[in-house]
Structure 1
């Protein structure tokens, strides 16, 4: 068993990765920008860890911005700005990916959740 497999065996969450890119309407053949599902049901781990900071959104009222880290296998293609929909303990969280850092054993993705409270 490799180090990648050992770490992946500890992941208990799952995520879908969406990317904003050009897509063609199959009926009109017009190209438009929109969210495209890049990966679905990927095993991951959402961690509140050291980056778990909550603060009010600048210039907005009743807003909350929380930073987390997501860990997954290193071969998963995630880029900065991707939308991640993570299922953690039966609850769905929608996040925006920061710049991922790739280790030989895992991918570490800083994410931000913005929500109105």
Structure 2
């Protein structure tokens, strides 16, 4: 089922997954493109950790997509944001809702 929120999502993602392939009778792991140009929404938030003497601010990154998207924990996604910037992410724990899914993600690039 398509999410009614999809009309608000302006980002697109390519989803990659490690798969075993046999080349010359040798099994190797290879990162394969599973889906491309999938509508999504990449979001950044902030979390405040007040457990220490000095509170710290941590960034949290979330990825939203349709409930029928074939995406798994551990997949690599390359998100093309509405401004054309590309961000490489590793998919973490996901939460399925009626019409969409929400995943915590970790940025693979360094600033």
| TM-score (norm: length of structure 2) | 0.79
Is the CA contact (8 Å cut-off) linking 2:14 and 2:36 kept in structure 1? Answer: yes
**Which one has a larger percent strand, Structure 1 or Structure 2?**
2
Does residue 64 of structure 2 align to residue 71 of structure 1? Answer: yes
Per the alignment, do residues 36 and 68 of structure 1 end up closer, same or farther by CA in structure 2, a change over 3 Å counting? Answer: same
Kindly state the Cα deviation for residue 91 of structure 1 after the two structures are TM-superposed: 0.6
Once the two structures are superposed, residues 63-91 of structure 1 have per-residue CA deviations (whole angstroms, 9 ceiling, x without a partner) of xx953101110011111111010001201
Gaps of 5+ in 1: 52-64
Does residue 94 of structure 2 align to residue 100 of structure 1? Answer: yes
Q: Which residue of 2 aligns with 1:82?
A: 75
| TM-score (norm: length of structure 1) | 0.75
Is the CA contact (8 Å cut-off) linking 2:22 and 2:28 kept in structure 1? Answer: yes
Q: How far apart in 2 are the matches of 1:10 and 1:116?
A: 28
Q: How many residues align?
A: 100
Gaps of 5+ in 2: 48-57
